[in-house]
A = this chain, B = another copy of it.
Amino acid sequence: MIDLKDIHSPKDIKNLTTGELTTLSGELRKVLLDKLAAHGGHVGPNLGVVEAAVALHYVFNAPEDKIVFDVSHQSYVHKMLTGRIGAFLDPKHYNDVTGYTCPRESDYDLFEIGHTSTSISLATGLAKARDLKGEKYNVVAFIGDASLGGGEALEGLDYAPELGTNFIVVLNDNQMSIAENHGALYDHLTALRESKGTSENNIFKALGYDYIYVRDGNDVASLVKAYEKAKDADHAVLIHINTMKGNGFAPAEANKERFHYSAPFSETDGALLNVSSQKSYTDIFTEHMLKRMGADGNVVTLTAGTPGAIGFTPDKRHIAGKQFVDVGICEQDAVAMAAGLAKGGAKPVFGVMATFVQRAYDQLSHDVSINCLHVTVVDFGGGVFGIPDMTHLGFFDISMISNIPGIKFLAPATKEEYVAMIDYALDSCDGPVVVRTPGGGVVSTDVPVNTDFNRYDIVEQGADVAIIAEGPFLQTAKQAAGILRGKGINPTVINPRILSSVDSETLDGLRNYRKVITVEDGIVDGGFGQKVAAYFGSSPVQVICLGLKKEFLDRYNVGEVLKANSLTPEQIAALAE
């Protein structure tokens, strides 16, 4: 047997017996749970695939054999076995690894991947490159835990057998998505499980895959046997493994959705160590949508597989009943279905993370906007205060969405504005509206909301210098204005609210100003500030556009990023002088 700290590469487990691999799995699971409890992370997905990852590295020879993890939030055990066990054993090194595969960390990791459903298509490229070069190795796509139903995955699943070459898909079927599964495919997986893989109308066989079913996907011996059968195949093979999400930690087995991802928790009972009693924008959204759905049976809230991220925990989904739709992690389908709902006279509201809304660009443009359909999208986690992981950044949405014709892109600065904008989208519009949930803490105001959202809102009237700041940066702008007033400068502070067009009337009122500063919670490129700069292009008004640099950051410190982009009150005030 081997001591965990002596695992430097998969080679170190190659000589273990099946019994020892099982023991090893238990030890890895314990270490994993300790880290997850203290540090937070994807609990259920990783506890469920301990044996699957151990067997994978026992049978295949990475990095020569190429293993692509889908979503890659289920790659923690893979990391433990590929030279990074220190980042799990030693709390001081917990942050040495990201929560996803990361080629910057290790040659065993092929792609930075955080969005779902990518592995099969990526792997087809690896397989094709291998064959063009006349090389020989196994290409394995490890998919599941929410990923299979996404369009990109289905496109890849469809194409891969056409390659007619070594190609192995491991389908980790833990009977769950992030929440419960949706879509007929998952009913089919249930039928396959219940029949121990013998159910008729096998979809994978229909697509030409050799199909192998592993009844106990948490049993190392069964997995090793199945992988060995598929290894070195000269065609496409799909191994369907039946695993248990959260395996080995009773609270995670009992409440799979809650433990898909968790902040630090007690190993005794799973309780969160830090519970915030503060109401978040997500709470406000959910509460408001439940009210709106209760009052009007035609209002529908949609999610693409992330109900929790938009506040619709199981209890709230139960209240919403048939007015809540989860299509699985299928943003394209969600947006197109919203288009159909609108055409049919319903009032759809699609709640989605800013990082994922980009998966439906074509549907927003072609299916919704060209058709002028009354679809409301509320996006979450946008801006610099969102998820700081490179694969989940949320500060590209303004630039991406606000340049699609016909879509109103609204950015509230307070909770009152947020709710008013959702109501405005539902009640006063007849075309597509995107409302961006503000980042940072909830801001409240007792100033009545000006609901003419096609116009900017002058929050503080001054002269000579104007700061036009959207979303959470309105507060920053107010602080900057305070600093400036201390220096005898009395700036005008403006909340633009609508980022997809300029309010020419308000801007024309600034034509005799010396300087206009725009501040946005997104990249400057393609953002609203550049529209303002172009508007003032042939006037003497100086315009300075502030926002984020166009770059992919990773696990960044918000304060540092704000400073690097001149987004602190002091820096804005200095620029405004």
> A residues engaging B (CB < 8 A)?
66, 68, 103, 110-115, 118, 121-133, 149-152, 154-156, 158-162, 182-185, 187-188, 200-203, 205-208, 297-298, 300, 322-323, 325, 327-328, 330, 332-333, 336-346, 348, 358-359, 361-363, 365-367, 369-371, 390-391, 396, 399-400, 402-406, 515, 523-526, 529-531, 533-534, 536-540, 542-545, 550-552
| Chain B residues closer than 8 Å to A536, beta-carbon distance | 537
Q: Is the CB–CB distance between B155 and A182 below 8 Å?
A: no
Copies in the complex: 2
| Contacts A/B (CB < 8 Å), 23 sampled | A114-B366, A118-B363, A124-B336, A125-B344, A128-B337, A128-B344, A149-B155, A152-B336, A152-B362, A159-B182, A159-B337, A162-B182, A184-B207, A185-B207, A200-B200, A203-B203, A361-B400, A366-B391, A515-B538, A526-B526, A533-B534, A538-B543, A539-B542
Q: Is the CB–CB distance between B182 and A121 below 8 Å?
A: no
| Chain B residues closer than 8 Å to A129, beta-carbon distance | 298, 340-341, 343-346
Q: How far is the CA of A501 from the CA of B152 in the complex (A)?
A: 30
| Chain B residues closer than 8 Å to A390, beta-carbon distance | 370
Q: Is the CB–CB distance between B534 and A543 below 8 Å?
A: yes
- A111-B339, A361-B362 known; 17 other A-B pairs, CB under 8 Å? A122-B337, A125-B338, A129-B344, A133-B344, A133-B345, A150-B151, A152-B362, A154-B154, A155-B183, A158-B184, A158-B185, A158-B333, A184-B208, A361-B400, A366-B391, A530-B530, A533-B534
Q: How far is the CA of A162 from the CA of B180 in the complex (A)?
A: 13
Q: How far is the CA of A39 from the CA of B418 in the complex (A)?
A: 51
Known interface pairs A158-B184, A403-B523, A533-B533. Does A325 touch B128 (Cβ–Cβ under 8 Å)? yes
Q: How far is the CA of A566 from the CA of B185 in the complex (A)?
A: 53
Nearest residue, chain B, Cβ from A207 = B184
Q: How far is the CA of A346 from the CA of B533 in the complex (A)?
A: 42
Nearest residue, chain B, Cβ from A407 = B550
| Chain B residues closer than 8 Å to A154, beta-carbon distance | 151, 154-155, 158
Which listed residue (B124, B161, B403) contacts A550, Cβ 8 A? Answer: B403
| Chain B residues closer than 8 Å to A128, beta-carbon distance | 300, 325, 337, 340-341, 344, 346
Nearest 8 interchain pairs by C-beta:
A125-B340, A151-B151, A129-B344, A121-B336, A526-B526, A155-B333, A403-B526, A537-B543
A356 to chain B, nearest CB (A): 8
Q: How far is the CA of A560 from the CA of B326 in the complex (A)?
A: 45
Q: How far is the CA of A538 from the CA of B576 in the complex (A)?
A: 11
A378 to chain B, nearest CB (A): 17
| Chain B residues closer than 8 Å to A330, beta-carbon distance | 155, 158-159
Which listed residue (B206, B297, B371, B399) contacts A526, Cβ 8 A? Answer: B399
Q: Is the CB–CB distance between A406 and B207 below 8 Å?
A: no
A88 to chain B, nearest CB (A): 24
Q: How far is the CA of A150 from the CA of B151 in the complex (A)?
A: 7
A286 to chain B, nearest CB (A): 20
Nearest residue, chain B, Cβ from A68 = B340
Which listed residue (B103, B125, B150, B362) contacts A342, Cβ 8 A? Answer: B125
Q: Is the CB–CB distance between A124 and B340 below 8 Å?
A: yes
Most buried by B among A118, A125, A202: A125
Q: How far is the CA of A359 from the CA of B125 in the complex (A)?
A: 19
Q: How far is the CA of A330 from the CA of B185 in the complex (A)?
A: 20
Q: Is the CB–CB distance between B362 and A115 below 8 Å?
A: yes
| Chain B residues closer than 8 Å to A538, beta-carbon distance | 515, 542-544
Q: How far is the CA of A431 from the CA of B405 in the complex (A)?
A: 30
| Chain B residues closer than 8 Å to A124, beta-carbon distance | 333, 336-337, 340
Nearest residue, chain B, Cβ from A367 = B118
Q: How far is the CA of A542 from the CA of B183 in the complex (A)?
A: 56
